[in-house]
Amino acid sequence: MKLLLTSGGITNDSIREALVGLLGKPIAEAHALCIPTAQWGHPMLGPGTVRRSVAGEPPFDLMTSLGWASLGVLELTALPSIGEERWVPWVREADVLLVDGGDAAYLAHWMRESGLAGVILSLPETVWVGLSAGSMVMTPRIGEDFVNWPAAPDDRMLGVVDFSIYPHLDHEQMPSNTMASAERWAADIAGPAYAIDDQTAIKVVDGTVEVISEGQWKAFAG
């Protein structure tokens, strides 16, 4: 699987160009599935934000409203009840999975519970575009500060990549997301990590990591 791990979605031309490069075709020819599951686990999100995210309405218009050839919704909480023979073909036929933000621990739980966590490892050409929690879920750990789901056993994620992500650096609506906070977080993570703002993404292909940015970011060696 090819990864484009963002903080805020497809927010600038550089990130959009990286997405097109990963797809190997224009966005208008690519078929997408949106995964909004992480939103249900976050106390500040719910039906209204899920609807706006899927519909691509501002300010949630930086993933689903890019002009895809087709766009469907894949709700992970439904998958265990319908059987892999139905949903796995949907995933395999998609060019890109657009994985929304919310609570990363809740998303990780349902990726494991649904079976998607195993399926994605067999999709070398599919592009995974994460937004915030949708990016963090691919990392080894997110740190306790980012766990909001009360039933989460810990902060461990799927570990598809070997680095952690601190998103929304210096975001105007998140005044606590400062570089100083990111540095404290990175010390607790005690592993390779990146702090990225909403104008930054991390591209990962065959283990090669590249930062795509028109904003601010910092790498931590761990």
pLDDT at 58: 79
Q: Residue 68 is part of a domain; what is its CATH number? A: 3.40.50.880
Joined tokens for residue 82:
């319908």
Long-range own/partner contacts, residues 17-24 (CB < 8 A, 24 or more apart)? 18/201, 18/203, 18/212, 19/96, 19/127, 19/129, 22/127, 22/203, 22/205, 23/95, 23/96, 23/127
What Cα–Cα distance (Å) separates residue 172 from each residue in 48, 110, 144, 168, 219? 22, 30, 22, 9, 21
Q: What's the chain's average pLDDT?
A: 94
Domain that holds residue 73: 2-220
Residue 44 — very low, low, confident or very high, per pLDDT cuts 50/70/90? confident
The count of structural domains within the chain is: 1
Task: Give 176's DSSP letter.
Answer: T
Query: What is the pLDDT at residue 57?
Result: 81
pLDDT band at 193 (very low <50, low <70, confident <90, very high): very high
Confidence of residue 68 (pLDDT cuts 50, 70, 90): very high
Confidence of residue 41 (pLDDT cuts 50, 70, 90): confident
Q: Is 195 helix (H, G, I), strand (E, B) or coil?
A: strand
Please state, in angstroms and rounded to a whole number, the distance separating the CA atoms of residues 79 and 21.
30
Distance CA 66, CA 86 (A): 27
What pLDDT, on a 0 to 100 scale, did the predictor assign at position 31? 98
Q: 149, 119 in Cβ contact below 8 A?
A: no
User: What average pLDDT does this structure show over 66-80?
Assistant: 97
Which single residue is written with the structure tokens 């963002």?
6
**Banded pLDDT at 95 (limits 50, 70, 90):** very high
Beta 208-213 vs 217-220: how paired, if at all?
Answer: unpaired
Spatial neighbors of 181 by CB under 8 A, at least 6 apart, are none
* Percent of the chain whose predicted confidence (pLDDT) is above 70: 100
Containing 187, the helix (H) or strand (E) segment is helix 179-189
Q: How confident is the model at residue 210 (pLDDT cuts 50, 70, 90)?
A: very high
